[in-house]
Structure 1
Amino acid sequence: MREYTGAVLFVDILGISALTTSEKPLIEPRDFLALGAKTGSDGSNQLFCANLLSKFRKTLRQRRRDGLHISQLSDCAFLWSKKPSLVVEAARDLFQQNASTGILARAGMTYGQIIEPEKTNTSLGQFICGEAVTRAAKLEGAGKGSRVFIDREIGGLHIQSMSPKAFEGLPNPSDYRVVDEFLWFSCPKDLESRADKAARLKGIATQIIRFRHAPAFRWNASSAAGRIHIGATIERLSVAAKALALEMNVEPPHFALQTSEVFQELYEDAQYSSEREQKLHARVERWHEEYKP
């Protein structure tokens, strides 16, 4: 066995258990269309799940880099490396692409002991264990929403070209315990101009609108459990958007921002439409034109 210190990311797709165990059909033909998948003969929950996992696998393949190891286990995956920067950058890019594709995922990311075999039969896939692996899997469930929860070790590392502001701690409202996370949706550079900040704020608002209105997330929002996760995601991104707007001394894009409670109270199936999404994206563009340098 080979033992070393490195970074580990554990990613899990949210909602798969409900999708595969429900006796009722949760999926409609438009969900296949939004995912860019074929409905097949029955358009069942199971077939949609298979297509979703295939999309997830594709996004994982696109993250491949020298020195970065990736192993998918159905609806979850491990990514690890001796170089923490490779794992952190992969987490950012993976979650941004997940949001674009319509995959609602959550993760835990740690730094510490990794143990892997000297030789692995790759036909069965790669595998790892170790203290960092165990903590990453445990951290994944530290909160609600499409977020990347981290330990203090990886949060304290210097990641080249990325500001420490990409790692932040927030109190959990339920028990006031501080939960550290990696802000995949808002990763400032070490040196950031006002134009960079405006572009980052625009990006956060764009992501919020996707979670609120993109047809690809309709099936997630159709269940109460799914709405909790989407609502938590929207609220977390809204908090980040307000903080960045305050830092820039500009008016936040209030039309895009929302709390989890308001999202769940006002939810209606019809809100997940391309028309509504595009209309709000256009408002973001107008807002950005007004406030960019």
Structure 2
Amino acid sequence: MKFLKRTNGAVFFVDILGFGALTQNQVNLDNKDFSIWLDKYHQNYDNQVLAASILAEFREILNKIDRKYKNVVISQLSDCAFVWSENIKEVIIVANNIMSECINNGIFCRGGLSYGEILETYQNHKLGRFIVGNAVTEAVKLEGIAKGCRIMISQEFPHNLFEQDKEFSNRIFPLFQPFINPLDYLTYDEFKWYFAPFMTENINEIINCDKKSKIKLTRQRLKLANKLRLDPKFSWNAKSSQGLVHLRASINFIAESKDSVLKIQHEFGWEDVCEARSYESIKKVEKMINQEIR
């Protein structure tokens, strides 16, 4: 009986930002921070219970996406998850949707994407699937590079996609762009998932899609940035210095007004979080986004 399956494929590693600080009680929270997450469960206000609630929501998102994409394996390990498949296109789509759904539901993540050798066990999967290999190591390494909810990629990743699926690669290639890390001023490569959130398999060609499609994508992008600014579920993230840095960075690049991808102009170039968070404020700004993005 074989012990390992050896293959080449794409690996996405995603991690919930700030979770370690939360579980180690390094974040001081007030009742408002807890209530938005815990009141529906009728639970006591406690960092560990909040962490469990976030993990439950994260698992629901992963299960929802897992049911939709049968050729992709998703394995959750506490506050992180691995996604892998020989089909690079589907891993890209799943990675995009995990990031989109997480922000839309109040969870703050960061990811890394790589392609290469994967070793997967044939053992009983009752305790969950696990993998090792160069692609796995690289994806984990890439996840930790930048601030905010970016997905960093290996330098060869766009070429790997092109070799496997030229048609899909040609449709989304503007989403792969270099990124200069302000921490060390080195250039890395990024999958700018937020310019086409909630991606589907039939996504239009990014560079030549019609203006209506570009406006729709821009509205979706700005609504995600607005969630980071105003959704009460992110208030606990803003209570630590590192969490605040990650939030500010994410709002900056997701709400980017100098749009080099779709070239749609807008006036919502936000740069910071808001202390007064509420769902009423979210709806108000979303209405403005729908009206003013023409």
TM over 0.5: yes
Task: Return the letter of the residue paired with 2:179.
Answer: L
Q: Percent identity over the alignment?
A: 32
In 2, are the aligned partners of 1:102 and 1:216 still within 8 Å (CA)?
A: yes
**2:137 is aligned with 1:128:** no
Residues 127-186 of structure 1 show CA distances to partners (whole Å, capped at 9, x for unaligned) of 100000000001100100011111122222235544201211121223321121111211
For structure 2, the residue ranges without an aligned partner over 5 or more in a row are: 197-202
The equivalent of 1:62 in structure 2 is 64
The equivalent of 1:286 in structure 2 is 291
The equivalent of 1:257 in structure 2 is 269
Partner Cα separation in structure 2 for residue 114 and residue 79 of structure 1: 11
Residues 204-232 of structure 1 show CA distances to partners (whole Å, capped at 9, x for unaligned) of 11111111111111111122211100001
Runs (4+) of structure 1 exceeding 6 A deviation are: none
Q: CA deviation at 1:23?
A: 6.0
The equivalent of 1:77 in structure 2 is 81
SS in 1 for 2:235: helix
Q: CA deviation at 1:238?
A: 2.6
The equivalent of 1:50 in structure 2 is 52
Partner Cα separation in structure 1 for residue 156 and residue 39 of structure 2: 39
Task: Return the letter of the residue paired with 2:61.
Answer: T
**2:10 is aligned with 1:7:** yes
The equivalent of 2:158 in structure 1 is 155
In 2, are the aligned partners of 1:27 and 1:44 still within 8 Å (CA)?
A: no
Distance 1:84-1:32 versus aligned 2 partners, 3 A rule: farther
Deviates more, 1:73-82 or 1:26-35: 26-35
- Give the alignment's Cα RMSD to 1 decimal: 2.1
The equivalent of 1:238 in structure 2 is 255
In 2, are the aligned partners of 1:19 and 1:26 still within 8 Å (CA)?
A: no
Q: TM-score, with normalisation over the residues of structure 1?
A: 0.87
Partner Cα separation in structure 1 for residue 82 and residue 50 of structure 2: 23
The equivalent of 2:100 in structure 1 is 96
In 2, are the aligned partners of 1:149 and 1:181 still within 8 Å (CA)?
A: yes
Deviates more, 1:152-161 or 1:217-226: 152-161
Partner Cα separation in structure 2 for residue 55 and residue 6 of structure 1: 28
Deviates more, 1:102-111 or 1:221-230: 221-230
Q: TM-score, with normalisation over the residues of structure 2?
A: 0.87
